[in-house]
Structure 1
Amino acid sequence: MYFLMNISQISAFQAVMTSASLSDAAKKLGRTQPAVSAAIKTLEDQLGLQLFDRQGRKLVPVPEAHYLLTEADAILSQLSRVRQTMRSLVDGQTGNLSVAAMPGPVSVLFPRFIATQIKGDAGITVSILARSSNQIAELARAQNIDFGFADAPQNTEAQTLYDAEFIAADCFLATPADHPLAARDVVSLSDLDDEPMGCLQANHAHQQDLQDMFRARDLTFRTMVESQTFLPILQFVSAGQCCAILDPLTVVHVKTAGAMTEHIQVRPLAEKIRYRYAIIAPRYRPASVLANKMRDAWRQEVMTLLSDVGSDPRMET
């Protein structure tokens, strides 16, 4: 029978049942007394049942009205919960968030940011995936994540199913703390000629750019160790076995690591070597308020972190 009733009628009925008088019910609802009386009369007509005996100005509920009150309480309580949930969704205080980040940021910086943003809110559940940059792009193309953080994609033709925002910033040189170059204020690529280096894998855009820059200056880039990310390479730098030209977020990680900085020095480079990151979002997956809020906050967080280390971050197209 509930499909015959509207919320206004149910609210009026509940107010009359839980108030001392019709006028008290009207005040509780912020409505006029005739409007409440009309709502009750219409409800009775639709139900085909008299809910109250009229005794002068008093409305005395019949036994069936007490049953209806139990149902009305349940309906209005559920409606209140729905309203609260929707308000939380609008405010980005509840919901599900599915995100991905490349190795490196996903180890400390990215989850630390997410944890700070949700502030232990029990209304938010988070899924954080650690994936390579190519895998993050694939997840975005499949519309399977809310957003991801990765190296800037090299294949621009594949970006028809996702949108990407690009952030570029200056790279730095990491040297062992006792290395002669650690005493320099600024290091040039010529200082790294034939120096043992830790680097990303040969097919990575950053490594290809470095190789091109060394060749253009007739310098030798001598690979001592290569890895998918810079974090393992830092162990070799810390052990005094090589230097490495790091992306700036790895520099943030080094400075955050504390104990490792006792064995590693970070120096600016004379040549401007830009590293490009991307915040990737599926184009055809509707973004929740929570996802938009987190993505915007992460963009600002990245810009702040990069600015703090003096890497001159800029948004690019």
Structure 2
Amino acid sequence: MKYHQLEAFYQVMLTGSISQAAKNLGRTQPAVSMTINGLEEQLAAKLFDRHAGRIMPRTEAKVLFEQISPVMQQLRDIRLRFNRVESMPMPRISIIAASNAVTHLVPSAIADLAAGGQEFRVMNGSSAAVVLEMENQRHDIGLTDQGIGEVPLSSPLFDAEVFKVPVCAIYPRGLIPAAGAALSVSDLAGLQICSLYQENLMAQALVEKLGQPRVEFASLFPMACYAILNGSVAIADCITANAIFALTRGTLAAECRPIADIEPSPYFLMRSRYRARSQRADRCYETLGAALRAQQAFRGF
């Protein structure tokens, strides 16, 4: 049985008329009659009695109609839903990213594409939220740091690339004497340290090297501002530091140097496997990848 045969039969049963079924389907009456004949041949059963130009459903037709009615209704509902989706002004590329990446890196990376007419929806969330949203195929692209849990690199629901971004110290200008391009953990001994909340895996690793921070923050921007204004050192990655310096445009009297003996912070760029692909989405993904690769080498501020 083929769909067009069941569709013709369903309409004939609903209307009680081959001619009306043909009108509903946008076909000719002979075409619908031939379709019904073909269905009867496949089923090896007669579905209708024909008397004086009228048709009467037999028991076989009533049984078949009862069986296929739920399926035909479900198909109708699906068609209606997709018609509504097509009429909605949905963004063409949807991105979800962790707050430190969505503050500056993502907006700056997609700016040229947006200026060229590309539509975006950019959301932010915790690392766990980004992973969950990508597993549910709700966004084309996801970008997150380590967060409080491991990011599944072998997920069957999205592809992922890993980028290693240097960890930096952000502090008031002159707090740490200039002694080279990079710092070591020993250079921070005795200074007040602030970092992201301890549930963050990167922050947990920092405690082992630097001790318990004086102040913890859930967000990077107030953390850096606090450190700069209160003689402390904020430990963050290069993406965070770039966001702070780009957005404050030199209004904060601050310095930033990488910490050589702390492992780089991993960032994960993800692409949903089951959302529709397009050349523009590919270009956006490549643009974000290039922006992340540029962050893997500390270039100073």
Q: Distance in 1 between matches of 2:217 and 2:264?
A: 19
Q: Within 1, Cα distance between the matches of 2:260 and 2:283?
A: 37
* Alignment map for 1:124-203 (pairs within 5 Å): 124-152=118-146, 154-156=150-152, 159-179=155-175, 181-185=176-180, 186-203=182-199
Q: What SS is found at the alignment partner of 2:162?
A: strand
Which residue in 2 is equivalent to 1:240? 230
Q: CA deviation at 1:114?
A: 1.4
Match of 1:79 in 2: none
In structure 2, the gaps of 5 or more residues are 1-90
Mapping of residues 52-131 of structure 1, within 5 Å = 96-121=92-117, 124-131=118-125
CA distance in 2, matches of 1:155, 1:104: 17
Contact 1:177 1:262 in 2 (8 A): no
Is 297-306 or 161-170 further displaced after alignment?
297-306
SS in structure 2 at match of 1:198: strand
Q: Which amino acid aligns with 2:195?
A: C
Q: After TM superposition, give the deviation of residue 305 of structure 1 in Å.
A: 4.1
Q: CA deviation at 1:105?
A: 2.1
- In 2: Cα distance, 1:158 partner to 1:203 partner: 23
Give per-residue Cα distances to partners, 1:177-205, cap 9 Å, x unaligned.
131x1433232212323431111111111
Distance in 1 of aligned mates of 2:194 and 2:241? 14
Q: Does 1:223 align with 2:213?
A: yes
Q: TM-score, normalised by structure 2?
A: 0.62
Residues 261, 237 of structure 1: CA spacing in aligned structure 2 closer, same or farther, 3 A cutoff? farther
- Is the contact between residue 168 and residue 259 of structure 2 (CA under 8 Å) also seen in structure 1? yes
Asked if residue 283 in structure 1 is aligned to residue 273 in structure 2, the reply is: yes
Cα distance in 2 for residues equivalent to 1:140 and 1:205: 20
Structure 1 match to 2:67:
none
Secondary structure of 2:99's match? coil
Once the two structures are TM-superposed, the CA of residue 308 in structure 1 deviates from its matched residue by 6.0
Match of residue 283 from structure 2: 293
Instruction: Name the CA distance, whole Å, in 2 between partners of 1:296 and 1:136.
Output: 19
- Supply the distance in 2 between the matched residues of 1:246 and 1:182 (Cα, whole angstroms): 19
Are 1:208 and 2:204 counterparts? Answer: yes
Report what 2:253 is aligned to: 263
Q: 1:97 to 1:231 in 2, by over 3 A?
A: same
- What residue number does 1:302 align with? 292
Q: Deviations over 1:67-107 (max 9, x none)?
A: xxxxxxxxxxxxxxxxxxxxxxxxxxxx7111111112212
Q: Is the 8 A contact 2:228 2:254 kept in 1?
A: yes
CA distance in 2, matches of 1:267, 1:305: 14
**Which structure 1 segments of 5+ residues have no match?**
1-94, 215-219, 312-317
Q: How far apart in 2 are the matches of 1:157 and 1:281? A: 11
CA contact (8 A) 1:162 1:281 kept: yes
Letter in 1 for 2:179: R
Tell me what 2:33 maps to.
none
CA distance in 1, matches of 2:108, 2:207: 34
> In 1, Cα distance between the equivalents of 2:295 and 2:183?
22
Residues 1:297 and 1:204: Cα distance change in structure 2 (over 3 Å): same
Q: What residue is the counterpart of 2:56 in the other structure?
A: none
2:199 aligned partner, one-letter code: N
RMSD (CA atoms): 2.6
Counterpart AA for 2:98: M
Deviation string for 1:253-278 (max 9, x for gaps)?
23323545642111232414211000
1:194 and 1:221 in contact (8 A); partners too: no
What is the CA distance between 1:161 and its match in structure 2?
2.1
TM-score, normalising length: structure 1: 0.59
The 1-side partners of 2:295 and 2:115 are apart by: 20
- Displacement of 1:293 in angstroms is 1.3
Q: 1:234 offset after TM fit, Å?
A: 0.8
Counting aligned pairs with the same residue, the percent is 22
